A and B are shown apart, each in its own frame.
Chain A
Amino acid sequence: MSLFDYFARKKNNTASIAKERLQVIVAHERRQNNKPDYLAALQKDIMEVIKKYVDIDIDNIEVQLDNHGNFSVLELNVTLPDKLPAAKAGNSR
């Protein structure tokens, strides 16, 4: 390996970019594929319930199921808007 090759490698190491991108997408897709079929429906129902109280977008809800050996964790992440609309959040209705 010549000195030139050494510098060329540092500059053009596209293989490591490929590896990083693959690790991210493969991990993401494995999670997607292991999701049970009801998860999408569950997400929709949860959103309907939350929407009754807070005006939010479906993109702000994340439902994730993680397997940890003999038990699974259902994680629900809801990003609420900065300002809670008082009318909907309160008991006025």
Chain B
Amino acid sequence: MAKIIVVTSGKGGVGKTTTSSAISTGLALRGHKTAVIDFDIGLRNLDLIMNCERRVVYDFVNVINGEATLKQALIKDKRCENLFILPASQTRDKDALTKEGVEQVLNELKELGFEYVICDSPAGIEHGAFMALYFADEAVVVANPEVSSVRDSDRILGILQSKSRKAELGENVTEHLLITRYDPERVARGEMLGVADVEEILATKLLGVIPECQSVLKASNQGVPVIHDTESRAGKAYADAVARLTGEQVEHRFLTPEHKSLFQRLFRRSA
């Protein structure tokens, strides 16, 4: 029985694709057969973040239109045994996604024995974002500790609770809050919303907090999902979040400022 998880946020640029790549990789590394689908038709980027941009032959829309089989379009990840990527179409219109088409692809993934399907949502609350969340069993809502992102997250939570298939059936999508780009030092100085503040405003269970970390840009530069960087704070935080997603109890980390030596303080270099 495959679990369908949408990674969504409303606002753009908060880390949906970074999170989708990290979570799907993390699940695959834990031995789960996982597919990650890019729903951002016309602006695909998951392929680039996962370093398979030159291996894209067929895409999501080709499969929906019957121009290719799902097996032909799925790209096997080079680093993880159990991970497959279904890229978005770069040329089509987002209206190419239909409820029936998306449902058919998801059903086929279930038949192929996938345990997890991660849906990487486009920004906004338009058709593409709606298609990404409609069939979800669970949702990872990505938010930055910043006013516009938190407000947009609340909008998306409202849509999940009223417009998703689960909502139509009178059930609930399991919601998880993932706070990214968190800077504990700025929080301590009263310059940034804290975890508890965001949790309270959105009234959603916290899945994880990803600290602001240079490793994220380094990872995307190279097309290696940041979770592979097991030394980095962001990599560790994503690994914890994935463990929690599979039901493990893991203590939250990186919520307080790091203790810095006098030398580090003087030169203001962060790791």
Contact = CB atoms under 8 A, between A and B. Distances in A.
Interface of A: 1, 5, 8-9, 12-16, 18-19, 21-23, 25-26, 29-30, 33
A15 B193 contact: yes
Contact of B201 (A13, A23, A33): A23
Interface of B: 146-147, 150-151, 154-155, 158, 162, 187-194, 197, 201-202
Instruction: Name the prevailing secondary structure of the B interface residues.
Output: helix
A12 B188 CA distance: 12
B10 to A, nearest CB: 12
Contacts of A22: 147, 150-151, 193, 201
A1 B187 CA distance: 13
A18 B202 CA distance: 14
A13 B154 contact: no
A1 to B, nearest CB: 7
A67 B190 CA distance: 35
B187 A15 contact: yes
Contacts of A8: 189
Given A29-B155, A30-B154, A15 B191 contact: yes
A15 B192 contact: yes
Given A9-B189, A15-B190, A29 B154 contact: yes
A26 B187 CA distance: 21
A34 B124 CA distance: 20
A47 B124 CA distance: 35
Contacts of A25: 151
A48 B86 CA distance: 55
Nearest to A32: B158
21 contacts: A5-B189, A12-B189, A12-B190, A14-B191, A15-B190, A15-B191, A15-B194, A18-B146, A18-B197, A19-B193, A19-B201, A22-B150, A22-B151, A22-B193, A22-B201, A23-B201, A26-B154, A26-B201, A29-B154, A33-B155, A33-B158
Nearest to B196: A19
A18 B151 contact: no
A16 B201 contact: no
A21 B151 CA distance: 10
Contacts of B162: 33
Contacts of B197: 15, 18-19
A1 B257 CA distance: 11
Given A18-B147, A22-B147, A33-B158, A9 B190 contact: yes
